[in-house]
């Protein structure tokens, strides 16, 4: 399993799960793009069965300044476009909702959902991040 530097490692240890059940790799995505970073990252990625993005902290920041992280931004773009060696197998969201019994709106029945993935970091990283799980393709 992996987690990005400055982000949470998922899954967390839980009751009934031994302390050594999961082996985590911290990905130094914010290190300056260069040969040293990519030597380490490529070795880490080759060892991973699952890549877990527990919020938009890493890719959101990096993809907003591609001139500073050109290779990392391109790697994220490839990952999201399905061009990397990982495929998305799950995504979890919990956007803010407003439920009103007297109206019917969309698939959520009486609730209006407010996707806010690109709002202030306090919401998208700490309060209700979008979590994406990618599995290594065979």
Is 57 within 8 Å of 121 (Cβ atoms)?
yes
* pLDDT tens, N- to C-terminus, the chain (138 residues): 677 777 777 766 666 666 667 778 889 999 999 999 999 999 999 999 999 998 888 998 999 999 999 999 999 999 999 999 999 999 998 877 777 765 554 555 577 777 776 666 666 666 678 899 999 998
Residue 96 CA to residue 9 CA, distance in Å, equals 23
Is 80 within 8 Å of 73 (Cβ atoms)?
no
């Amino acid at each position: 399993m992996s987690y990005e530097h400055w982000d949470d490692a998922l899954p967390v240890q839980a009751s009934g799960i031994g302390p050594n059940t999961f082996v985590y790799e911290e990905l130094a995505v914010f290190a300056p793009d260069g040969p040293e970073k990519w030597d380490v990252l490529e070795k880490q990625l080759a060892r991973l069965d699952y890549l877990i993005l527990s919020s938009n902290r890493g890719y959101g920041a990096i993809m907003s300044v591609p001139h500073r992280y050109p290779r990392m931004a391109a790697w994220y773009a490839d990952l999201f476009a399905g061009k990397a060696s990982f495929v998305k197998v799950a995504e979890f969201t919990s956007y803010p909702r407003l439920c009103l019994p007297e109206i019917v709106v969309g698939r959520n029945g009486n609730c209006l959902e407010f996707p806010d993935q690109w709002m202030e970091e306090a919401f998208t990283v700490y309060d209700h991040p979008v979590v994406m799980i990618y599995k290594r393709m065979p």
